[in-house]
Structure 1
Amino acid sequence: MLDTSNAVATTVEWQTTLIPGDIVRFAFPIRNAGPGMSAKPRPCLVLEVRTINGHRCAWLGYGTSATTTSNQGYELRVNHPADMQKCGLEKPTRFVCGRCVLVLLDCPDFLMCKETGSPVIGRLSGSLVTRLVRLVGFVKPDLDDVFARLRGSDIWGPVAIQVHRHNRRGRASHLSGSVR
């Protein structure tokens, strides 16, 4: 799923240059993890980057190469070889924007590439960027609510954001957030 040999040019200061559409290596939290279960390294799509309480944060979408019906909702698929190469992916990958986490950019769950010193492995381009803008637009009003609730609070772990249902207007009718 990850191709770390073709990472985009990045700088040591990746935290200041991270933008929506970047693909990063991240140990995504496991839902309902049992004893001895740890987060799995996977590609994640940067959906948005913001500053909250003076800290830069990223909203990351879950990436998977699985073709099952689980983890569906607001998907962005990268399956053309040229797109996969630009994104730093070895396998066709679905980014599920309905399953995401909000993390501080200094979170230790970002997995650095030895070659670049950065977790950034690639970037969306062309029509995939247009699709990303559209997907983010569907859940952005509710994401704004989560950001507003976090303002003034002390964030010390990833905040899991799960979009559960959507009404006819495309807005999430329920959005939950919890600190791990």
Structure 2
Amino acid sequence: MFDHPLSTPHAWADQAQVGDVLLFHFPSPDEPGPVLARPCLVIEESRNLRRRCLTLANSRPLWSISLVETSIDVIRPAELAAAGLDQSTAFDAYRALLISVHNASFAIHPETGTPIIGRLIGDSYERMQSVRAYLSTQSRIADRHRQELDNDLSGRGVTPRKPTLPEFPEE
């Protein structure tokens, strides 16, 4: 799942932004066999180890079960057309993945040279912003809880272990 080779940089990689819908070979533990390219929603942009990354929310059928707090539904015809979707779709931000824009699993369209198929508009865009705020709040709460736990441990003379990330040279 994490052993995808890196592709060469593409022009779209600098243009992709929050709210874009793009095609990515998103792994699914529920579906055996080859991983198909499916619409994914960019819910965050970041730099990770000096590389530009996108946080992608996978699409799923609208009728499938998911957490209401993290589901972004695209239903209205105008919103579906703007997003490049042909049927009602929900994006599940709960199972989002952080992916380098150089990951070879992006499904680049041969004619357009980009995996971007559309962009959220209207109510679905506003819903995405609400989900992003919810996830940010949950992350801050978890960070505060970890900090309180670290403070509690250090108050008892226990040194909490801090995770470290490996450094990779810039290519």
TM-score, with length taken from structure 2: 0.71
- Equivalent in 93, 96, 103 of residue 100 of structure 1: 96
* 3-state secondary structure, aligned to 1:40: coil
Counterpart in 1 of 2:115?
A: 119
Q: Is the alpha carbon distance of 1:32 and 1:130 closer, same or farther for their aligned partners in structure 2, counting shifts above 3 Å?
A: closer
Counterpart in 1 of 2:146?
A: none
* Regions of 4+ moved over 4 Å: 141-146
Relative to its length, the structure with more helix (as a share) is 2
Aligned residues: 139
Residues of 2 paired with 1:106 and 1:131: CA distance? 28
TM-score, with length taken from structure 1: 0.68
Q: Is the alpha carbon distance of 1:133 and 1:66 closer, same or farther for their aligned partners in structure 2, counting shifts above 3 Å?
A: closer
Rg larger for = 2
Cα drift, residue 32 of structure 1:
6.3
- Asked if the contact 2:84/2:118 (under 8 Å) is kept, the reply is yes
- 1:2-13 equivalences in 2 (<5 Å): 13=11
Counterpart in 1 of 2:166?
A: 153
Q: Is the alpha carbon distance of 1:151 and 1:118 closer, same or farther for their aligned partners in structure 2, counting shifts above 3 Å?
A: farther
Q: Is the alpha carbon distance of 1:65 and 1:151 closer, same or farther for their aligned partners in structure 2, counting shifts above 3 Å?
A: farther
Counterpart in 1 of 2:41?
A: 45
The alignment's C-alpha RMSD in Å is 2.6
Q: Is the alpha carbon distance of 1:151 and 1:42 closer, same or farther for their aligned partners in structure 2, counting shifts above 3 Å?
A: farther
Q: Which amino acid aligns with 1:49?
A: E
Unaligned runs of 5+ in 1: 1-11, 156-180
